């Protein structure tokens, strides 16, 4: 199951999952799902900040498939760039809700179901999509940086809790990519962000999908609670 599945990274991850023989289940907001091309993929309108919505969709997924092997927590919002003291309180909270609480709610609803799947001799994988901003603390993005830093910590805690139960939990910290999330950012900010990437280019969504797929594969066997950079050399730790 992929959250934010109709977005830039989400669609790339869904395509790679399909190509690898998985049956991706797409969760996203109704408006975003409406922009997807017609397909026979299982699609559910889910707001990851809504506990009842998440629980119902998790139940629907289990009734239909009887198992869940892979969870990709990818839904996210960034908010407009503002100095911390000018961010409306409701905006700060909503950014934490989507990026951090949303991932907690999906894990809370789906980990017990994944544990049942693993009990049938399968292995489970959870991949969270954070951001390089989580490690750096980007200026004018305090809520986003804090939420994604929280997501890294959530990954580490959950990774330890599940380490002996056949479920690996990892997090990717991408640098900027020209998806809907970034494309409307002020030009000077994009130029500043690009100047921080030693490779001198933006990340491609398919590069996120490639790493996510590896983290979901049997080739990834001894990493859990781990942070995987995709930063074109920007990450220094
Ligand atoms: N694009 C970048 O530069 C970049 C860099 C680092 C990390 N990320 C992270 O990667 C992830 C995917 O981002 P993207 O670049 O594909 O952006 P995007 O805007 O194309 O996709 C984000 C998706 O999340 C969905 N979403 C938002 N709120 C939701 C909610 N409450 N419930 C369910 N779905 C919700 C949106 O509808 C959208 O489809 C996000 O978590 C983002 O923070 C993006």
For the chain, the 3-state helix, strand and coil shares in percent, each to the nearest 5, are 50, 15, 35
pLDDT tens string 46-95: 999 999 999 999 999 999 999 999 999 999 999 999 999 999 999 999 99
The mean pLDDT value for 36-49 works out to 93
Ligand 1 nearest-atom number relative to CA 50: 31
Could you tell me if 168 and 124 are in contact, meaning their C-beta atoms sit under 8 angstroms apart? yes
Q: Output the CA 120–ligand 1 centroid distance in Å.
A: 32
Q: Is 28 in the pocket of ligand 1 (CB under 6 A)?
A: yes
Task: Kindly state the percentage of the chain with pLDDT values over 90.
Answer: 95
Q: Is 6 in the pocket of ligand 1 (CB under 6 A)?
A: yes
Tell me the C-alpha distance between 105 and 90, whole Å: 20
Q: Is the pLDDT of residue 121 over 90?
A: no
End-to-end CA distance of the chain: 30
Task: Kindly state the percentage of the chain with pLDDT values over 70.
Answer: 100
For 1, 113, 132, 165, the CA distances from 119, given in Å and listed in that order, are 19, 10, 35, 9
The question of whether 144 is a catalytic residue gets the answer yes
Q: What is the pLDDT of residue 1?
A: 98
Going by C-alpha positions, the residue among 181, 218, 227, 178 that lies closest to residue 201 is 178
The mean pLDDT value for 112-119 works out to 95
Testing ligand 1's pocket by substitution, the residue of 9, 12, 16 carrying the most ligand atoms inside 8 A of its CB is 9
- Identify the DSSP state of 101: I
Q: Is 79 in the pocket of ligand 1 (CB under 6 A)?
A: no
pLDDT tens string 159-191: 999 999 999 999 999 999 999 999 999 999 999
pLDDT tens string 194-209: 999 999 999 999 999 9
Could you tell me if 48 and 98 are in contact, meaning their C-beta atoms sit under 8 angstroms apart? yes
Tell me the C-alpha distance between 50 and 157, whole Å: 23
Q: Output the CA 164–ligand 1 centroid distance in Å.
A: 31
Pairing relationship of beta strands 124-129 and 70-73 according to DSSP bridges? parallel
Tell me the C-alpha distance between 208 and 190, whole Å: 19
DSSP three-state, residue 42: coil
């Amino acid at each position: 199951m992929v959250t934010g599945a109709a977005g830039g990274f989400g669609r790339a991850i869904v395509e790679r999952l399909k190509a690898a023989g998985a049956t991706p289940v797409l969760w996203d907001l109704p408006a975003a799902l409406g922009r997807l091309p017609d397909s026979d993929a299982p699609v559910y309108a889910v707001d990851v900040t809504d506990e009842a919505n998440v629980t119902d969709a998790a139940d629907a997924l289990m009734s239909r498939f009887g198992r869940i092997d892979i969870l990709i927590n990818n839904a996210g919002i960034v908010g407009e760039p503002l100095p911390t003291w000018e961010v409306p309180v409701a905006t700060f909270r909503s950014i934490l809700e989507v990026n951090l609480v949303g991932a907690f709610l999906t894990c809370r609803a789906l980990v017990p179901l994944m544990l049942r799947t693993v009990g049938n001799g399968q292995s489970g994988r959870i991949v969270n999509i954070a951001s390089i901003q989580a490690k750096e603390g980007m200026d004018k993005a305090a809520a986003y940086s804090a939420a994604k830093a929280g997501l890294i910590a959530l990954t580490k805690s959950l990774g330890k809790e599940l380490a002996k139960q056949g479920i690996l939990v990892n997090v990717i910290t991408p640098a900027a990519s020209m998806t809907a999330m970034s494309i409307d950012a002020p030009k000077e900010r994009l130029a500043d962000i690009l100047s921080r990437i030693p490779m001198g280019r933006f990340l491609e969504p398919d590069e996120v999908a490639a790493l996510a797929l590896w983290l979901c594969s049997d080739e990834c066997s001894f990493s859990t609670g781990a942070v995987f950079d995709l930063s074109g050399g920007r990450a220094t730790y």
